[in-house]
Chains A and B, each alone.
Chain A
Amino acid sequence: MKVLKDLFEDYRFVVSFTILCALLLLAILSLFSPHDPTLWGTAPRDIKPSWEHLFGTNSKGQDLFWQAAFAVRNSLIIALIAASLSRVIAVLVGMVAGYKGGMTGTVLMFFSDVFLVIPLFLIIVMLAMLVRERMNLVTLGLLLAAFGWSWDARVIRSQILSLRERGFTQTAVLSGTGTVRLVLNEYMPFTTPLIFSTLINNMAWVIGLEITLAFLGLVNMDIPTLGTMLQWAISYQAILLGYWWWIVTPIVLSVLLFVALYWLSVSISEYLDPRTRIQRVGA
């Protein structure tokens, strides 16, 4: 497709695309793991990275390569669940606020602003402490989804506002198109790329938050994610004991993930923004 070809001219897209493909591969490999990731002692402990154990093993007796595969997979799953759900909320709120305008719009935007302004981290901590016992991938995803929509709702709303003023909106309304059809058929082509790029950003935010919550001990430590991997390493004093591979693996993987997601979203949104694509034409 021509779009892909154009995107590949941006080095950031190339790099991020490659990294993400590699990580996805790793995540898919988890399906072929010979070990159950929650079991301990499936491999000899504290072995440095070698051909047999690519990333080494940890003090719990687990092969880090397979742990990492599950970790990446689970982190991505949480991110996908949370980010998709919050897209739905963001799109609903943004579109209604943008199209209806007036009092509805103001009230919706006010609520969204409340979420922007309040230190969400603390609220999430409070809530996480409540459901700590029953925390799993899905509940964590839901929790994070409930808070990640406010910024993007505002972004979508401004786009809808400007689309509403365009000529084709009037044409559609005057020819009897219902509101829902108008929004779905006419506006979606414009909004979809925007939604996609905010999805990627949101995914990165969710993964970061998951790692932070793991750090505070607020997630289910048995499920391998990037956050729990790091936490186990810390609580087993991996640094002091010199088992650097246990610490470095989750850190490097998550940094790669964050940078890749970010570069992907930046290159896509710069591609979409007509101002950066085409040089300015004089009057």
Chain B
Amino acid sequence: MTFVKGYLIPRLIQYVLVIFLGLTAVFIIPRLTPSDPVNRTIIQLRSMGSYLDPASMNAFIEDLNELYGLTGSPLEQYGAFWTRLFKGNFGVSFFQFPTPVNQLIGVALPWTLGMLLTTTVLAWILGNIIGGLAGYFGRSRWSRVVDVCTMIIRPIPYYIFAFALMLLLAYVIPLFPVSGGIPIGRQFSWTLAYFLDVLKHAFLPALSLVLLGTAVWFQTMKLVVQNVNAEDFVQYAKFGGLRDRKIATRYVIRNAMLPQITSLALSIGQIFSGALITEIVFSYPGLGMLLYNAIITGDYNLIMGITALSIIGITTAIFVIDLLYPLFDPRVRYQ
């Protein structure tokens, strides 16, 4: 079972180690700050007018320390950190005390997941198809035009692109609503009207992500297809008198997909970050906005929770793609 040994085990080890290192970083970084969250919470509560006698105050401070995972030596804190993590407890929000971080994330997560999954898949498929055609049929004029367009779109960072799009399509030509999600006060319901409203508000951020994503996949696919086209086995298929369409699909595209799957796995971290940023520009009620509010209010626990969850989510997604890859490439399946 060299496959398991040669392919599966190293990736499993990497998966575990990356999560371990990433979450340890999440643990360490906030403890580098001189400010004390417990103190801040006390001050906050005091400013809202609550008062406690010294004895209960001490007990309260102890509870807070416990809640924020700050009791005991750093090593003990570290141990407690992992124990709580395994129980799925990411702590309590500093700002929206005492709402647990999990709850806040749980509300925002579906919005982000929905946007992220649809736009990523759409951009990947669209970009690969158009890029594949452009790479295979090289010299045509339209492929040159698309090329220049993507050359302009691709280097623009998510923020500027989203912002420019918003200016264009929500202000200059007010086609779409400026912010995403749902108008305040609208309740969730399984009606068509609700979903249409969601779509209308989600359109701009989704458009932004899809356009940027398609530009990237178009360019990479075009390069890959051009390289695969030059491979010996494609030449050989032409020597054999196979029909163009068969060569394009079974020989060129099937082989071009392999590095594209790998690229997808490597880009997930970037795509995720970009999605968050885009959400913030459009005030879309996903993890992005949650993060933004957390930054503004200095809600460190919430940021930690989001980061920890993102690390786990992204590495898992990459691991899953790694597991699926052998289905497409027999060279990895049989050593």
Which residues on A are within 8 Å of B, measured CB to CB?
12, 110, 113-114, 116-123, 125-127, 129-130, 204, 208-209, 211-212, 215-218, 230, 239, 247, 251, 254-255, 258-259, 261-263, 266, 280
Q: Are B25 and A123 in contact (CB under 8 A)?
A: yes
Whether A122 lies near B155 (C-beta < 8 A) is no
Residues A255 and B295 in contact, CB atoms below 8 Å apart: no
- Decide: A119 near B154, CB < 8 A? Known: A125-B295, A130-B29: no
Are A266's CB and B32's CB within 8 A?
Answer: no
Taking Cβ atoms with an 8 Å cutoff, the residues of B that contact A are 14, 17-18, 21-22, 25-26, 29-30, 32-33, 151-152, 154-160, 163-164, 167, 171, 230, 266, 269, 272-273, 276-277, 280, 291-292, 295-296, 298, 300, 303-304, 306-307, 310-311, 314-315, 318
In the complex, the answer to whether B295 meets A117 with C-beta atoms within 8 Å is no
Given contacts A114-B18, A123-B29, contact A217 B157 (CB under 8 A): no
Q: Is the pair B269, A120 in contact by a Cβ cutoff of 8 Å?
A: yes
The reply to whether B155 and A259 form a contact with Cβ atoms under 8 Å apart is yes
Q: Give the shortest distance, in Å, between A78 (CB) and chain B (any CB).
A: 14
Which residues of A have CB within 8 Å of B230? 280
Is A258 in contact with B300, judged by CB distance below 8 angstroms? no
CA distance A130 to B35 in the complex (A): 9
Known: A116-B269, A117-B266, A217-B295. 4 other contacts (CB 8 A): A123-B29, A208-B156, A218-B295, A239-B171
Residue pair A122, B306 in contact (C-beta under 8 Å): yes
Residues of B contacting A122 with CB < 8 Å?
273, 291, 303, 306-307, 310-311
Q: Are B314 and A215 in contact (CB under 8 A)?
A: no
A251 vs B304: C-alpha distance when bound (angstroms):
31
Nearest chain-B residue to A215 (Cβ)? B159
CB distance from B24 to the nearest CB of A (A): 11
* Pairs A-B, 7 closest by C-beta atoms: A208-B157, A262-B155, A121-B273, A122-B307, A258-B155, A212-B159, A119-B269
Closest beta carbon of chain A to B301's beta carbon, Å: 12
Contact partners of A215 in chain B: CB under 8 A: 159, 277, 280
The docked-state distance in angstroms from the alpha carbon of A129 to that of B302 is 13
Contacts of A216 in B (CB 8 A): 280, 292, 295
Subset of 27 A-B contacts with CB under 8 Å: A116-B266, A117-B18, A117-B269, A117-B318, A118-B22, A118-B311, A118-B314, A119-B273, A119-B310, A121-B276, A122-B291, A122-B303, A123-B29, A125-B291, A126-B303, A130-B32, A208-B157, A208-B160, A212-B277, A215-B277, A251-B163, A251-B164, A255-B156, A255-B164, A258-B157, A258-B160, A261-B155
Shortest distance from the beta carbon of A261 to any chain B beta carbon, whole Å: 7
- Minimum Cβ distance to chain B for residue A120 (Å): 7
Known contacts being A116-B266, A118-B311, A118-B314, is A126 close to B291, with CB within 8 Å? no
Task: Give Cα A247–Cα B155 distance, bound, in whole angstroms.
Answer: 20
A215 to B310 Cα, complex, angstroms: 21
For B151, the chain A residues whose CB sits under 8 A away are 12, 259, 262-263, 266
| Residues in chain B near residue A239, CB distance under 8 A | 167, 171
The main secondary structure of chain A at its interface with chain B is: helix
Contacts of A247 in B (CB 8 A): 167
Contact indicator A118/B303 (Cβ below 8 Å): no
Please state if B159 and A211 are interface contacts (CB–CB under 8 Å). Answer: yes
For A280, the chain B residues whose CB sits under 8 A away are 230
Contacts of A258 in B (CB 8 A): 155-157, 160
Query: Which residues of chain B come closer than 8 Å to A255, judged between CB atoms?
Result: 156, 160, 164
Given A123-B25, A129-B298, A258-B155: A110 touches B14 (CB 8 Å cut-off) = yes
B173 CB, nearest partner CB in chain A, Å: 14
- In the complex formed, the residue of A with least CB distance to B306 is A122
**Across-interface contacts of B156 in A (CB, < 8 A):** 208, 255, 258-259
B281 nearest CB neighbor, chain A only = A215
Cα A179 to Cα B292 in complex, Å, equals 49
Q: Closest residue to A218 on the B side, CB-wise?
A: B295
Residues of A within 8 A of B14 (CB): 110, 113
Whether A117 pairs with B307 at a CB distance below 8 angstroms is no
Closest Cβ of chain A: how far from B319's Cβ, in Å?
A: 10
Chain B residues with CB below 8 A from A208, complex form: 156-157, 159-160
Q: With the chains together, A125 CA to B151 CA distance in Å?
A: 29
Q: Which of B154, B272, B292, B304 contacts A126 (CB 8 A)?
A: B304
Chain A residue with the shortest CB-CB distance to B272: A119
Contact B22 A114 (CB under 8 A): yes
Query: Which of A12, A117, A123 has the most CB atoms of chain B within a 10 A radius of its CB?
Result: A117
Chain A residues whose CB sits within 8 angstroms of the CB of B273 once the complex forms: 119-122
* Least distance between B177 CB and chain A CB atoms (Å): 15
Complex contact A118–B272 (CB within 8 A):
no
Compute how far the CA of A122 lies from the CA of B273 in the bound complex, rounded to whole angstroms: 8
B71 to chain A, nearest CB (A): 22
Complex interface: chain B residues within 8 A of A262 (CB): 151, 154-155
Residue of B nearest to A280 (CB): B230
- The 8 Å CB contact of A118, one of B18, B29, B154, B306, is B18
- Which single residue of chain B is at the shortest CB-CB distance from A122? B307
A127 touching B155, Cβ below 8 Å? no
* Residue from B155, B272, B303 in contact with A204 in the complex, judged by beta carbons closer than 8 Å: B155
Using CB atoms, name the residue of chain A closest to B277.
A212
Q: Do A119 and B29 touch (CB < 8 A)? A: no
Contacts of B280 in A (CB 8 A): 215-216
